Amino acid sequence: MKTNKTNRKRRLSIKFLMILLCMGILIYAGVLIVGRIVYDHSIKEHYDTVAYDVAETVKEYFPDGALTEYAKQVAEYQKGKIDKSALDAIENSEDYKRILSQMANLRSSFEANDIFVITVDMDVLKAYTPEGFEARTWNPLCYIADVYEVEEDRFYLGDVGTILPEYRDSLFESHKSGKRYDGFYISEAGFGYNMTAILPITDGGETVAFVGVEIPMKTLNTSLRNFVLWISLITGIVVIFSLLISAFLAYKFVIAPIKLSASEARNFVSNNTQVSDKLKSIQTGDEIQVLSESILHMEIGINEYIEDVKALTSEKERIGAELNVATTIQADMLPTVFPDRKEYTLYATMDPAKEVGGDFYDFFHIDDNHLGLVMADVSGKGVPAALFMVIAKTLIKNRALMGGTPSEVLSYANEQLCEGNGAELFVTVWFAIIDLTTGKGIAANAGHEHPVLKRAGGQFELVVYRHSPAVATMEGMKFREHEFELHPGDTLYVYTDGVPEATNAENELFGTDRMLEVMNKHVDATPQELLPIVREGIDAFVKDAPQFDDITMLGITYFGKQDDKE
């Protein structure tokens, strides 16, 4: 079921044929609609021309001045100034009878429904109301002559009549301008469509009457049906033939190459990235050929990429294994067994940001009464910093064991590290030597963080003093020393910049203020307790933000010289 459903979705040819079919139907319908509109307009113009030609002919039937006189007599009759006998005299005259006879012959020859001559009372025309129209009391027309094909329904001289309200405005404009209305008066009665033409007749620049011609549009429906039938047949044949040719060409030059490209891409996925040469057979010379060539190049590139990924993965695994060994070696270089001495208790931790780090701490006895403490941070991260850290740690410890002040030890390490330092790495160092019998110490701070000191019964506070530049920044440097003294119960805490510069998701730093706040909530904690507490405070602050720097800490609580009582 899943395969069939997928195949149905991928039938590009069916979708394309449906699009062609819809386009064919739209073209077919459009041709019919446009053809009917053009034909209908042409027929109406034809009837309009014929109707106005007839009206012009009727106009010529009236002798000069006769129509004006008839219109005047009808108007006076409507106003009651003359009686019906005056109109009867006109109807019985030879001229009037001749005019009616000519109009009747003309109507018959053109198979018109009606030819009539009327006057229009403009005051009544303007006074239109729907109620008057419905009641047939609104009659703005007055007939002068009428030869309606139904004899008993024709109007006589002096009879009044109404018009459709939609013709009112055009009749008014035609009367005012003395020109014919160019629109069509088309109405539909029980016997079909009728075209009515109204031609104004002027005398002395004024409209005195109108000639109306109503011609049945007998050929409209029949001709239109025949036209629609033939145009439907011809258009249908042309559309079907065009669709067949378009479908054939589209399948050959568009659909078939695309289907082949899709099939080859699917085979590449299902056959373990096996590349086929069938795509080379697509030579359409257009974007489809570009697509097939791109797919082929992509398949070859994917296989090359897979091989590269395999090689990189193998290399990454090898490097990872070596980094694991390096991590173990580095961890083993840092002292993790803390002395069990009566004079002090000490604890330290180092959490690298990467597999190996550049931070290090160290503590060692120079002699029975002197303890060396080191807290350092190499610039940079990863393997280069770790290698530099190993050298720096070894130099500092070995030189310190030979004797000398912190300044002398750091000066020696500085000279050694500056030689061949092509990577331009440096290391910030806090190095102190403490006399365990007196608690007095000397420290040299080479660009490192300020240490923190808590006196017995007091609070943790920063010990701020001027620093020297970092080690390995410049040859021939001398390092400033700082004397201090620990009393029994005092705690000294040193750390790298990974503690105050720990950053949360909002890019805020943990800072020394937060560090001291956490520490002062646990002023009685031992170094073994204090360092994990500080780390918990850092983790709570940064939450899920990644660790960007190594975090290294060392704490020592001094108890003073203890007498043996064994």
Structure tokens at 220: 């409209």
Selected residue with higher pLDDT from 443 and 273? 443
Residue range 186-207: average pLDDT?
74
Q: Is the pLDDT of residue 494 over 90?
A: yes
Q: Is the pLDDT of residue 167 over 60?
A: yes
**Dihedral in degrees, nearest 10, Cα atoms 517, 520, 521, 522:** 140
Residue range 265-283: average pLDDT?
70
- Look at residue 276 in the predicted model and tell me its pLDDT: 65
- Look at residue 1 in the predicted model and tell me its pLDDT: 43
- Look at residue 36 in the predicted model and tell me its pLDDT: 65
Q: What are phi and psi of 386, to 5 degrees?
A: -65, -40
Measured from the Cβ of residue 58, the count of other Cβ atoms closer than 10 Å reads: 24
Average pLDDT over the chain reads 83
- Look at residue 331 in the predicted model and tell me its pLDDT: 63
pLDDT tens column, 384-433: 888 888 899 999 999 999 999 999 999 999 999 999 888 889 999 999 99
- Look at residue 2 in the predicted model and tell me its pLDDT: 45
Structure tokens at 365: 């006895």
- Look at residue 227 in the predicted model and tell me its pLDDT: 65
Query: What does 40-82 look like in DSSP terms, one character per residue?
Result: HHHHHHHHHHHHHHHHHHHHHHSPTTHHHHHHHHHHHHHTTSS
% of residues, the chain, pLDDT over 90:
39
- Look at residue 113 in the predicted model and tell me its pLDDT: 85
Q: Is the pLDDT of residue 240 over 60?
A: yes
- Look at residue 9 in the predicted model and tell me its pLDDT: 46
Residue range 373-385: average pLDDT?
86
Residue 359's pLDDT band, with cuts at 50, 70 and 90, is confident
Burial of 167 (0-12, 13-18, 19+ CB in 10 A): middle
Structure tokens at 403: 């004797």
Measured from the Cβ of residue 346, the count of other Cβ atoms closer than 10 Å reads: 20
Query: What does 249-299 look like in DSSP terms, one character per residue?
Result: HHIIIIIHHHHHHHHHHHHHHHTTS---SGGGG---SSHHHHHHHHHHHHH
pLDDT tens column, 505-516: 999 999 999 999
Selected residue with higher pLDDT from 540 and 14? 540
Q: What are phi and psi of 552, to 5 degrees?
A: -130, 135
Q: Is the pLDDT of residue 493 over 90?
A: yes
- H or E stretch at 442: strand 440-446
Residues 511, 500 contacting (CB under 8 angstroms):
yes
Residue 241's pLDDT band, with cuts at 50, 70 and 90, is confident
C-alpha to C-alpha distance for 411 and 472, rounded to whole angstroms: 9
Q: Is the pLDDT of residue 6 over 50?
A: no
Q: Is the pLDDT of residue 464 over 80?
A: yes
Which of 309-313, 459-463, 531-535 has the lowest average pLDDT? 309-313
pLDDT tens column, 431-451: 999 999 999 999 999 999 999
Residue range 338-345: average pLDDT?
92
Q: What are phi and psi of 484, to 5 degrees?
A: -150, 170
Q: Is the pLDDT of residue 565 over 50?
A: no
